[in-house]
Structure 1
Amino acid sequence: MAETQFIDTPQGRRIAYHYTEGQGPCVVFLGGLKSDMMGTKAVFLEDWAQREGRAFLRFDYSGHGESSGSFTEGCIGDWHEDTLAAVEQLTEGPLVIVGSSMGGWQALLLARAMPERIAGLVGIAAAPDFTEDGYWANFSEGQKQILAEVGQVELPSDYMEPYIITKRMIEDGRDRLVLRTPLDLPFPVRLLQGTADTAVSTATAVKLLDHAQSPDMRLTLVKDADHRFSDETCLALITDAVKDVSGGR
């Protein structure tokens, strides 16, 4: 495997990445909350891109993987800035964005920031607005009080160690919501969602499908697939979706 490379963002954060040269549109993988670029889906897509001669980028947000900073220092806006920096410094021309979980929200923020560069978007258990609709909406009054007084709360996870959710993450998330105002996605969009996902519900996928405007937007539900969406069948669906929004390539 190639050696990890690094860039510095305008905000002074150091971002780790792997970039594969190839033909476009460049496929950019955006990982989930507390995930890193060594995850199954990211590495699988890179292998596929290399076989197909496709340009491909995967990277770690600040506070994730090999990038600088700690997770509890970060928020949705910081990771959006990291995404912008990676895309602007490392890629040229049209992009196909693949966003997993929180990366699905990041993909939508990127599409809102630079729609002219997006050729297509694939969301895998996309989780737009989850800090507000998932965390805040389900916090007890006691948790809200702890957040206000201590500045963070600890939440259990079905997939890794507990999440530390900070007051800054909640407040910043409110400035990044995409499901409260019109969301124009003027390119093909494919949403993939497992029905056994305990982190992101099928209702979230349907809400995004109903809310966004796109000339070609489809949702595929996979019975019994969980949030990882990483078995052989699911990985094949991801590459099919990437090829689909890339015009069959």
Structure 2
Amino acid sequence: MTETAFLETKSGRKLAYHRIEGVGPCIVFLGGLKSDMMGTKAVFLEDWARRNGRAFLRFDYSGHGESSGDFTDGCIGDWAEDTAEVVAALTEGPILPVGSSMGGWQALLLARSQPERLAGLVTIAAAPDFTEDGYWAGFTPAQRARIEAGQTVELPSDYMEPYKVTPRMITDGRNQLVLRSPLHLPFPTRFLQGTADTAVSVATATRLLEHATGPDMRLLLVKDADHRFSDGPCLDLIVQAIHEVLASNV
């Protein structure tokens, strides 16, 4: 395993990352909310990339893993800035983002802002616009009142400790929405989604597929796969999706 290195951003955030050199396009793994670059999918893909001589990058957003900052101070826009700076500083030429859950939203934001950099895109249980369509839409009147009063709301999670949703997470999220305006993905795109996912619904995956436009876009539904999408067969499907995208760039 590579040693952890750090990148200091323009805003003074210190972002932890692991990078291996190899043939491009560089595969950039974008983790989920409150996840880190030591997760099963990130480490598995780095091992696969090393064995196959592929360039690969994984990192922690600010407030996540080994990077600086507190999670509750961050928001979707901050992590989009982190992603853009990491890509600019640590990669050259075409990239292939692989975004998991919230990382899928980050990958879509990157695709919208820098489509010329992307050789393709793979998402795993992508969660675009979840601060609005998941959090805010599901809040009770009392929870909405707390946010509007500048207070934090705690939500249970099936996968970790409760999420603390801050007012900034909600208000900033509204500036990052990708399902309310045109979203063109002019490169091979593969969306992966488990039917037993209790964090991101199949309906979200199909909504993304129907909303986005592009010449080569596919959604793969995996029966009984959960949000982690990290067992052996699911990991193999991620690699298969990467192979499909890379093959179209030959």
Query: TM class, shorter-chain normalised?
Result: over 0.9
Structure 2 residues without counterparts, runs of 5 or longer: none
**AA of the residue aligned to 1:4:** T
What is the match of residue 14 of structure 2?
14
**AA of the residue aligned to 1:178:** V
Deviation of 1:2 (Å): 2.0
What is the match of residue 176 of structure 2?
176
1:141-169 Cα shifts (integer Å, max 9, x gaps): 01111122242100000000000000000
What is the TM-score when the length of structure 1 is the normalising length?
A: 0.99
Root-mean-square deviation (CA, aligned residues, Å) is 0.8
Aligned to 1:246, the other structure's residue is in SS state helix
Structure 1 residues without counterparts, runs of 5 or longer: none
1:36-94 Cα shifts (integer Å, max 9, x gaps): 00000000000000000000000000000000000000000000000001000000000
Please identify, of 145-154 and 177-186, the stretch whose mean Cα deviation from structure 2 is larger.
145-154
**AA of the residue aligned to 1:144:** R
**Structure-1 separation of matches of 2:52 and 2:244:** 14
**AA of the residue aligned to 2:237:** L
What is the match of residue 146 of structure 1?
146
What is the match of residue 63 of structure 1?
63
**AA of the residue aligned to 2:201:** S
What is the match of residue 159 of structure 1?
159
Residue pair 2:94, 2:117 contacting (<8 A) in 1 also? yes
**Structure-2 separation of matches of 1:186 and 1:109:** 14
What is the match of residue 116 of structure 2?
116
Deviation of 1:131 (Å): 0.3
Aligned to 1:243, the other structure's residue is in SS state helix
**Structure-1 separation of matches of 2:183 and 2:240:** 25
What is the TM-score when the length of structure 2 is the normalising length?
A: 0.98
What is the match of residue 235 of structure 1?
235
What is the match of residue 31 of structure 1?
31
What is the match of residue 190 of structure 1?
190
**Structure-2 separation of matches of 1:89 and 1:150:** 35
Deviation of 1:3 (Å): 1.4
Aligned to 2:119, the other structure's residue is in SS state strand
**Structure-1 separation of matches of 2:213 and 2:195:** 24
**Structure-1 separation of matches of 2:11 and 2:183:** 27
**AA of the residue aligned to 1:159:** Y
**Structure-2 separation of matches of 1:149 and 1:174:** 17
Residue pair 2:76, 2:169 contacting (<8 A) in 1 also? yes
**Structure-1 separation of matches of 2:12 and 2:151:** 24
Equivalent runs, 1:49-88 vs 2, <5 Å = 49-88=49-88
**Structure-2 separation of matches of 1:147 and 1:180:** 23
What is the match of residue 92 of structure 1?
92
**Structure-1 separation of matches of 2:230 and 2:171:** 32
Aligned to 1:119, the other structure's residue is in SS state coil
**Structure-2 separation of matches of 1:242 and 1:129:** 24
Equivalent runs, 1:218-229 vs 2, <5 Å = 218-229=218-229
**Structure-1 separation of matches of 2:11 and 2:51:** 35
What is the match of residue 103 of structure 1?
103
Identity %: 71
